[in-house]
């Protein structure tokens, strides 16, 4: 019985080997496989090898690849597919992405052979171009207009010059990523012609000028990241046409003017980051209509206005709300406490006044609350458990008339920089103030401060900005 079982297993193994042989060699031997030349057109192989030599150096010749780069010993980062019975390169990734990836030579350059890969769908370079500076070949890119779907250049500081207008003619392009390079100049207007584009990332360059109206016509776009450039001007009203957008990041530029009400059309957006710009004109009511928002970051803009005009309870998906250093006035509305998924609330470095509602403690996921450098008043009426949960992530310093009741817990439990209420009252009395009342939201702020406080606050402005920047870096790393 055991001998019969062994025989059956041997038969199965023979059949499996035969099937594998058919897969490798073809049913009628049309692919010679390891016994002969691989099924790659010679001109395609020569174009690939020559193109790669431009990036990794002339010393590389692919001689250790058998039978070809699409065979048993493929190049890391090269993928192929069969067209008309032959292998063609469809994906090429150059740079130190993985340990065994091809590394670029210091004088990497574009050879024209690259553009002879007529079935190339994906092309990516990572940390390849450093020195000397090299610019895009602006003429040959149109040769990829019928094939290329993804084009990426990441972390190439030596890649300089402008973005070729030819990129706007890559009509099948779905992903264009030019991040952390040395690119400059303006944004090509015809990028807006790429109607199938799903991802547009141009962050971390030195791009200047205005954002073109045509960029608002990318109705299939899911991700737009133009952050960390020097873009200026107003946000185009056409951005209301980005109806599919999920993430919109325009932070760290020089954009100005009002935040247009047309953004209310962005019903699917989960991240809106406009921080570190020059936006003004107050918070637009359109924000409350963006019901899918999970992160809203508008910090370090001279926006002005107050929080009371927004129905924050409409933003039930919101987890991060950062409005620090936006020149807000007025009080903190209780509607903020109805955003049940809120984790981070940043209101520091503003001109907010009145009391801080203890209902914030009822937000189940809240783990960071920053209200430092404001004019908040009265007693903090949170529980000891809330303070212990928050720890250093509750920032309330430099609110001179904000205080901590001492009857129920030690002062050391409360947030850093907040004094005991009896100390604040004594200070007010010694300063000649007569109007300090715990929990009085309507109390005039003028009676809370010495006459020299406004000049003293000006001295703190620079410190405030530095603190805000440092906290943002720590919290969003």
Q: Specify burial of residue 131 (Cβ count, 10 A radius: 0-12, 13-18, 19+).
A: exposed
pLDDT score of 143? 95
Question: In terms of domains, do 183 and 66 share one?
Answer: no
Strands (E), 64-112: 78-83, 86-95
- Write out the E strands in 268-372: 271-273, 278-279, 295-297, 320-322, 329-330, 344-346, 351-354, 368-370
Residues 6 or more apart in contact with residue 229 via CB below 8 angstroms: 202, 203, 204, 205, 206, 207, 208, 252, 253
Query: Mean of the pLDDT values across residues 201-215?
Result: 97
Q: What is the mean pLDDT of residues 73-89?
A: 85
Per-residue pLDDT, 12: 42
Q: For residues 284 and 354, state if they share a domain.
A: yes
Residue 272 counted as domain residue: yes
Please check the confidence at residue 95 and state whether its pLDDT lies above 90: no
Average pLDDT in the 166-181 region? 97
Confirm whether 257 is domain-assigned. yes
Output phi, psi for 397, to 5 deg. -65, 165
Last residue of a domain, one of 123, 139, 167: 123
Query: What is the pLDDT at residue 44?
Result: 92
Residues sharing a CB contact under 8 Å with residue 131, sequence separation 6 or more, in sequence order:
106, 158
Dihedral over Cα of 264, 266, 272, 278: its sign: negative
Query: Mean per-residue pLDDT for 104-124?
Result: 94
**Domain contains 36:** no
Residue 325 or residue 45, greater confidence: 325
Q: How many CB atoms lie within 10 A of CB 137?
A: 15
> In terms of domains, do 164 and 277 share one?
yes
Q: What is the CATH number of the domain that holds 347?
A: 3.80.10.10
Question: Are 275 and 306 part of one and the same domain?
Answer: yes
Domain that holds residue 85: 42-48+62-123
User: Is residue 274 situated within a structural domain?
Assistant: yes
State how far the Cα of 63 lies from the Cα of 66, in Å rounded to an integer.
8
Contacts of 121 (CB under 8 A, 6+ apart): 90, 91, 147, 148, 149, 150
Give the Cα separation of 9 and 264 in Å (integer). 67
| Overall number of domains in the chain | 2
Span 369-381, mean pLDDT?
A: 96
Residue 133 and residue 78 share a domain: no
pLDDT at 451 over 60: no
Place of tokens 């960029």: 215
User: Same domain, yes or no, for 386 and 289?
Assistant: yes
Last residue of a domain, one of 104, 123, 142: 123
Task: List phi, psi (to 5°) of 466.
Answer: -65, -45
What pLDDT does residue 74 have? Answer: 64
The answer on pLDDT for 46 being more than 60 is yes
pLDDT band at 237 (very low <50, low <70, confident <90, very high): very high
Residue 440's Cα: distance from chain center in Å? 41
Judge whether 191 and 214 are in contact, CB under 8 Å. Answer: yes
Grouping H, G, I as helix, E, B as strand and the rest as coil, residue 222 is coil
Same domain, 113 and 205: no
Residue 223 has pLDDT above 60, yes or no: yes
Task: Compute the average pLDDT of residues 370-374.
Answer: 98
Q: Give the model's pLDDT for residue 65.
A: 74
pLDDT top residue among 429 and 137: 137
Report how many helices (DSSP H) and strands (DSSP E) the chain contains, helices first. Answer: 5, 26
103 or 308, which is more confident = 308
pLDDT at 462: 47
* Sign, CA torsion 437/440/444/445: positive
Q: Are residues 341 and 252 in the same domain?
A: yes
In this structure, what token pair is assigned to residue 233? 């001007």
Q: Is pTM beyond 0.85 here? A: no
Q: How far apart are CA 42 and CA 44, in angstroms?
A: 5
**Given this model, what pLDDT does residue 448 score?**
29
88/184 same-domain check: no
pLDDT at 71: 73
pLDDT at 37: 45
* CA-closest candidate to residue 457, choices 380, 366, 350: 350
Q: What is the dihedral of CA 365, 295, 302, 337, to 10 degrees?
A: -30
Task: Please give the pLDDT value at position 170.
Answer: 96
**Whether residue 138 is found in the same domain as residue 108:** no
Is residue 115 situated within a structural domain? Answer: yes
Residue 313 burial (10 A CB sphere; 0-12, 13-18, 19+): middle
| Same domain? 55 vs 99 | no
Q: Note the pLDDT of residue 338.
A: 97
Q: CA 327 to CA 282: how far, in whole Å?
A: 9
Per-residue confidence (pLDDT) for residue 23, from 0 to 100: 40
The CA distance from 57 to 59, in Å, is 5
Which of 14-23, 291-300, 305-314, 415-424 is predicted least confidently? 14-23
Lowest mean pLDDT among 168-182, 226-240, 409-423: 409-423
Whether 21 is covered by a domain: the verdict is no
Question: Across residues 223-239, what is the average pLDDT?
Answer: 97
Q: What is the pLDDT of residues 398-408, one digit of tens each?
A: 999 999 987 76
Question: Which pLDDT score, from 0 to 100, does residue 26 have?
Answer: 39
* Range in 73-77, 119-123, 151-155, 319-323 the model is least confident about: 73-77
Query: Residue range 178-190: average pLDDT?
Result: 97
pLDDT of residue 375: 97
Same domain (yes/no): 319, 413: yes
pLDDT at 210 over 80: yes
174 found inside a domain: yes
- 8 A C-beta contact, residue 232 and residue 209: yes
Token pair in block for residue 371: 């209200």
302 within 8 A of 275, measured Cβ to Cβ = no
**DSSP secondary structure code for residue 192 in this structure:** G
CA neighbor of 249 nearest in space, from 224, 278, 281, 268: 224
Distance CA 74, CA 296 (A): 45
Of residues 338 and 11, more confidence is placed in 338
- pLDDT at position 28 is 36
Tokens 């049309």 sit on residue: 30
User: If you average pLDDT over every residue of the chain, what do you get?
Assistant: 83
pLDDT at 465: 47
The pLDDT of residue 455 is: 34
Look at residue 31 and tell me if it is in a domain.
Answer: no
Mean pLDDT of 249-269: 97
Split at pLDDT 50, 70, 90, the class of 459 is very low
Of the candidates 94, 123, 152, which is a domain's last residue?
123
């Amino acid at each position: 019985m055991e001998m019969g079982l062994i025989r059956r297993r041997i038969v199965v193994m023979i059949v499996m080997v035969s099937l594998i042989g058919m897969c490798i060699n073809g049913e009628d031997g049309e692919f010679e496989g390891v016994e002969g030349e691989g099924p790659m057109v010679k001109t395609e192989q020569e174009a690939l090898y020559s193109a790669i030599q431009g990036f990794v150096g002339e010393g590389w010749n692919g001689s250790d690849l058998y039978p070809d780069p699409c065979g048993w010993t493929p190049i890391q980062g090269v993928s192929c597919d069969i067209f008309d019975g032959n292998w063609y390169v469809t994906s090429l990734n150059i740079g130190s992405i993985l340990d065994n990836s091809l590394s670029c030579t210091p004088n990497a350059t574009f050879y024209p052979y690259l553009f002879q890969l007529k079935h190339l769908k994906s092309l990516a370079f990572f940390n390849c171009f450093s020195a000397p500076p090299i610019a895009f070949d602006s003429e040959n890119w149109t040769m990829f207009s019928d094939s290329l779907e993804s084009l990426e250049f990441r972390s190439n500081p030596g890649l300089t010059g402008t973005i070729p207008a030819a990129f706007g003619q890559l009509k099948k392009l779905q992903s264009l990523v030019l991040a952390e390079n040395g690119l400059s100049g303006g944004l090509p207007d015809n990028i807006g012609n790429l109607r199938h584009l799903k991802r547009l990332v141009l962050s971390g360059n030195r791009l200047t000028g205005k954002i073109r109206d045509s960029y608002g016509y990318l109705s299939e776009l899911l991700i737009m990241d133009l952050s960390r450039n020097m873009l200026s001007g107003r946000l185009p009203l056409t951005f209301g046409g980005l109806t599919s957008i999920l993430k919109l990041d325009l932070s760290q530029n020089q954009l100005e003017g009002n935040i247009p009400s047309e953004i209310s059309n962005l019903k699917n957006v989960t991240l809106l980051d406009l921080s570190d710009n020059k936006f003004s004109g107050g918070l637009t009511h359109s924000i409350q209509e963006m019901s899918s928002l999970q992160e809203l970051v508008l910090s370090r803009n001279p926006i002005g206005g107050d929080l009371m005009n927004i129905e924050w309870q409409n933003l039930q998906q919101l987890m991060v709300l950062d409005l620090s250093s936006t020149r807000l006035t007025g009080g903190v509305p209780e509607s903020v406490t109805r955003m049940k998924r809120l984790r981070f609330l940043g209101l520091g470095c503003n001109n907010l006044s009145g009391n801080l509602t203890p209902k914030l403690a009822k937000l189940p996921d809240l783990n960071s609350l920053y209200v430092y450098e404001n004019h908040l008043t009265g007693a903090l009426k949170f529980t000891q458990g809330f303070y212990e949960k928050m720890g250093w992530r509750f920032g309330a310093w430099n609110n001179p008339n904000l205080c901590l009741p001492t009857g129920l817990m030690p002062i050391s439990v409360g947030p850093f920089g907040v004094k005991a209420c009896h100390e604040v009252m004594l200070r007010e009395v010694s300063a000649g103030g007569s109007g300090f009342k715990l929990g009085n939201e309507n109390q005039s702020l003028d009676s809370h401060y010495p006459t020299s406080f406004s000049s003293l606050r000006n001295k703190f402005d620079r410190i405030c900005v530095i603190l805000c920047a440092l906290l943002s870096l720590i919290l969003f790393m």
